[in-house]
Structure 1
Amino acid sequence: MREFAYKSRDGDVYVLINVNYGDALEKITENYTGCAVFVSRSIVDRVHTKCPLIPVIDGEEGKSIEAVLSIVRSAHELSIDRDGLFIGVGGGSVLDVVGFSASIYLRGVDYVNVPTTMLSMVDASLGGKTGVNALGLKNVIGVIRQPRYVIIDLTFLESLPMPNYIDGFAEVIKYGITMDRELLGQVMSNTDKLLGRDYGVLEEVIYRSLRDKASIVEVDELDRGNARAVLNYGHTVGHAIESVSNFSISHGRAVALGMICEARIGVKLGYTPRYVPDLLMDVLSRFNLDNRVAIDVNGLVNAMVRDKKRSGEFIKLPVVIDVGMWDMVKVRIRDLMNLVIGECGSMP
């Protein structure tokens, strides 16, 4: 078991890794007047707590305003008051919607994240970014509000299909390539154990990933400075890939392709060493995350123009300046579009 806490504007957030979720929730809920567990409908039979269970739609289909209203309605019917607790159990889409719903219900109630996929364990469960999709754009409606607890129970990974499991390693590799050389080395040295879901190695890799993310969130919680931008490495292009594919390309694979594209762009801009794209290809291929896909480049460009990170005629883009090191650059939209067309029309 590993645990740590990080600071937020609403108080400390407690992160528990490799624990039994049921035992942890039993202790946590004692401090609240009521609770409701909003759980992915695909795993509802596996979840057992004293709190009422409400199945919710998982995947991008469930990230909608309609899903939020359904959660709010259920909480109201259960008479959850302002001292009550929302608990999200599922993948990143479920945690996003439950966190957003908790943030607006009665002007905000506490919530707990219990991620059940590798991707949500290393990314969506921590950081406080919550939201839903609309207008064909990912997370275009949302708020930043931190969970009170993040509970990582590795047993949820045992039955996770391999394609879904390896999706999460795109985010782990992102942390490694941008700000944690040692983590990247651990991933490359323990690929077989990680693919075999070795609890000991997984605990350490998840712990380091979440500590890396928490260190950024603490200094730029509201995403108003430059620090939190590193967490978007691969996502400017990755989110656009998801949108133009109508979300048929998974988040992890889209981010993997996005990192390759953005690394090539970094080289062209003169910031990223030439060996970095090849290194990324190497480590991503170990997890079968380097699949070649057909991408509508014009659609990709149009989606990027509407990116949330755009500011006037520029987009702030994190670039790798060496393994484990990054910097922020402002790129003119027009120039970025030309670079995407030139470097990312055929990936990888």
Structure 2
Amino acid sequence: MNVKEKISSFQMAIIMYQTLLGTAILLMPSITTLLAGRDMWLTPILGSTAGFITVWATYRLHQLFPNQIIYTYMDAIIGKIPSKVVGFIFLLFNLHIIGATTRDYAEFIVGNFFDKTPLLVIIASMIIVCAFAVQGGIEVIARCIQLFLPVVILFLLLNILFIIPEMKPSNVLPVLEKGWIPPLQGTLVIQGWFCQFMLVSFLYPSIKDKDKTLKWAQISIVATSVTMTLTNLATLFLLGLLAGRFNYPILFASRYIMLADFFEHVEAMVMMAWVLGAFSKISFLYYTLAVGAAEWLKLDHYRPLIVPIGLLAILMSVWVSTNLQELSRFISTTGTIYILTWYMGLPVLLLAIASIRRVGSR
């Protein structure tokens, strides 16, 4: 892997923070309300455990195999031929995730703002913009996210502040009305987001201050959990259990905002936050797929693969689902196990095998 591009541990933390929140802010409250009811605000707190486990596993693998990514040290752990097979499947998995993320972004834009624009145009335009960012490298992606993140956080906080007069904190009661089973079911879905911290393994070789890597990764997990919890609480206080009936509760909540009879219709802030968040996430996923494919193919650099992967991503975005409802159902059901298997199960399994082989060799 090319390690000439360098980022700081702090930049790594904000990349992962924005990668998770890029799609979670709008989709998460609806899905968790359906599964956990009034206790949906607990799900990010419980679900963050998957993030800590995944970060610990990837960091230990990085210590065992410094300056390598998963496609490289997989050879040493499970053998050359099995690693080629598993690596190829993992590449297809990542391509599928990019397709689902891009399709989710496009469905939101077309369904709420540009209803007469063909879905393919929205998908292709985002992939093309992200391709330019990936061409620039991880430093460019990190600086873009560093520039956009304050804007996204500002818009999110403004939306929450402006709907405070309409909130009813009593909607959170009674806590654990039906026991721990509903919040644990919702937690499983949230873990599907937190396990995406596995992608931090692609950043470890490029980090300058490696001694701070684990600390900043854990800070990123905590910050993500706090932001998700605040978003869920704001949605619950405003909409109660009705949040489960809307695909995008935060967008619906923004339509409640009306100050002094002239400050209203602020859905544009939600759209701006969503576009910037989606760009950040898709760019980073695009980068990890290109780097992984280059390592799997034993190429000197990933840049020759940017255009072919972009075309495949556009095709995958169209093919991945027939509509938004089917995509949401996949995310909240079998998609969770699917994501957990690869993003958390794979690094944990590799670490277990590497540890056993290391003990055996001693």
Bigger Rg over Cα: 2
Q: What range is the shorter-chain TM-score in?
A: under 0.3
If each structure's helix is expressed as a fraction of its own residues, which one has the higher value? Answer: 2
Q: Which has the higher contact order (CA 8 A, sep 6+)?
A: 2
- Return the TM-score normalized by structure 2: 0.27
- Return the TM-score normalized by structure 1: 0.28
